[in-house]
Amino acid sequence: MHDPRVLLDPATDAVRKLARRGFTLDTAYLEKVLSGRNAAIGRGDDARAESKRLSAEVKTASAQDRPALVGQSRDLKSTVSEADAERDRLDAELTEYLLGIPNLPADEIPDGTSEADAEIVRTWGEPVEIEGAKDHVTVGEAVGILDLARATKLSGPRFAVLTGKGPRLERALSRFFLDLATERHGYTEFSVPTLVNREAVTGTGQLPKFEQDLFKTGVADRDLYLIPTAEVPLTNLHARETLTAEDLPLAYTAHTPCFRSEAGSYGKDTRGLIRLHEFSKVELVRVVRPEESRAELELLVGHAETVLQELGLAYRVVKLAAGDTGFSSEMTYDIEVWLPGQGQYREIASASDFGQFQARRAGIRTRSKDGTRGFAATLNSSGMPIGRTLVAILEQGQQPDGSVRIPEVLVPYCGFDTLEPA
């Protein structure tokens, strides 16, 4: 959540920056609510101070003067109560408005509102054209690992059933991703809840704006949300905590199921594994010092790229345009894997620098040994989604005889190097 004083500071240039992502900052409204809140605080403080003075005066007042002083004291207490109520009302109004303001996009990202405006940063591997290339659904069904019809029978559209060697390959991918993150890149692995409270999803920016994209349930006296990504519980591990700045960065990872309603996306990617309501993913989260967040973003996207390089999957990295960057992010790199069955690159992962945006919302503070206080910066990336990686393996690994070649690095994990036609 933003500091309103920073948004109103001309040096921040918040109006222009937010306009790049299609958001109009109402500075007049913000100034009105903020000044009203400050005035209410001032009235309450003045009345409290005067009430305290009168209380001392009442003790020494004569019997003749005491009733008038008591009456004034009663009026002042009423003024304090009214001022506090006004302050609380305006506090809530201000918070509601601030929670709906997206992060300020970095100046170094391109202008634009769609993926067509993204800047291509680099390409890795050869996007080989395969004659007669089939999409991953056709390939997956042919080698007997994918059953969408039975998934639909169980849960409706946008769910998947893996069978045969499919679940073994799914387990192999998750183990490989976690081993790479923990053993080579130094991440600490967590097992975290997949149901979290409203405060947690507000802290990372999914609420209140994107409530329609979440699955909501309840336990006893509280609302809980199924996580859209392990970013939510991993980042909120340190909510309302003060971290020692010299102990940063922190690097966390987890493999979890993820749940997304995909509200508003019907008609897109309805076939196959690309846009499911339920899928699994290994997530990477970093909590860092703000001045190091850009360097940490480059490190993070490199960790995600290493996964695809080890798998031998051709991909490219693009820098998203301001109007296409996620609500909480200052800057995002998308990693797009080559899908010969579609003849194009498709997003497989995103790596984002949130600056202090999430830390302010979640209350993740820092304190240096010299006493300097502030907020941490947070970042996250997929490291990778299991389903979309499987899509890339099926499409890039398809062979003329209908089989699928498994990346060599996965063979020790899954125990086979080929998926044969069923």
DSSP string, 378-395: EEEEEEEEHHHHHHHHHH
| Pair 277, 231 in one domain | yes
Residues that constitute the known binding site for ATP: 260-262, 347-350
d(C-alpha 26, C-alpha 4), whole Å? 11
| Pair 224, 158 in one domain | yes
| Pair 152, 36 in one domain | no
| Pair 360, 398 in one domain | yes
d(C-alpha 300, C-alpha 243), whole Å? 21
Q: What percent of the chain has pLDDT over 90?
A: 86
Amino acid 264: pLDDT: 59
Give the tens place of pLDDT for each residue, 180-228.
999 999 999 999 999 999 999 999 999 999 999 999 998 888 899 999 9
Give the tens place of pLDDT for each residue, 95-110.
999 999 999 999 999 9
Q: 60, 48, 236, 273: which is closest to 157 by C-alpha?
A: 273
Asked about 275 being catalytic, the answer comes back as yes
Q: Which residue of the set 278, 292, 347, 420 is catalytic?
A: 347
Task: Quote the number of domains for the chain.
Answer: 2
Q: 396, 407, 402, 408: which is closest to 422 by C-alpha?
A: 402
Amino acid 400: pLDDT: 94
Q: Residue 151: which residues within 8 A CB-CB, separation 6 or more?
A: 159, 160, 161
| Pair 280, 320 in one domain | yes
Q: Which residue of the set 20, 174, 388, 395 is catalytic?
A: 388
Residues that constitute the known binding site for L-serine: 229-231, 260, 283, 380, 382
Domain boundary among 68, 100, 132: 100
Q: Does any domain span residue 14?
A: no
Amino acid 268: pLDDT: 65
Name, of 58-67, 215-224, 238-247, the range with top average pLDDT: 238-247
| Pair 252, 355 in one domain | yes
What are the beta bridge partners of residue 385?
Answer: 281
Asked about 293 being catalytic, the answer comes back as no
Asked about 240 being catalytic, the answer comes back as no
Q: What percent of the chain has pLDDT over 70?
A: 96
pLDDT at 123 over 90: yes
Asked about 198 being catalytic, the answer comes back as no
d(C-alpha 89, C-alpha 209), whole Å? 21
Asked about 388 being catalytic, the answer comes back as yes
Q: Does any domain span residue 3?
A: no
The tokens for 173 are: 């991918």
Q: How many CB atoms lie within 10 A of CB 239?
A: 18
| Pair 216, 304 in one domain | yes
Give me the chain's average pLDDT, please: 94
pLDDT at 135 over 90: yes
Q: Does any domain span residue 21?
A: no
| Pair 123, 95 in one domain | no
| Pair 146, 227 in one domain | yes
pLDDT at 25 over 70: yes
Q: Does any domain span residue 110?
A: no
- The residue range of the domain holding 52 is 26-100
The tokens for 123 are: 């390409």
Burial zone of 201 (CB within 10 Å; 0-12 exposed, 13-18 middle, 19+ buried): buried
| Pair 50, 120 in one domain | no
Amino acid 309: pLDDT: 98
Q: Which residue of the set 89, 275, 346, 367 is catalytic?
A: 275
Is the whole-model pTM more than 0.85? yes
For the chain, helix (H) and strand (E) counts, in that order, are: 13, 18
pLDDT at 51 over 90: no
Amino acid 314: pLDDT: 98
Q: Which residue of the set 87, 260, 360, 361 is catalytic?
A: 260
| Pair 50, 157 in one domain | no
394: domain CATH number is 3.30.930.10
pLDDT band at 324; cut points 50, 70, 90: very high
DSSP codes of every residue in 220-267: TTEEEEE-SSTHHHHHGGGTTEEEEGGG--EEEEEEEEEE---TT-TT
Per-residue 3-state assignment (H helix, E strand, C coil) for 142-153 = HCCCEEHHHHHH
Q: Which residue of the set 73, 293, 328, 350 is catalytic?
A: 350
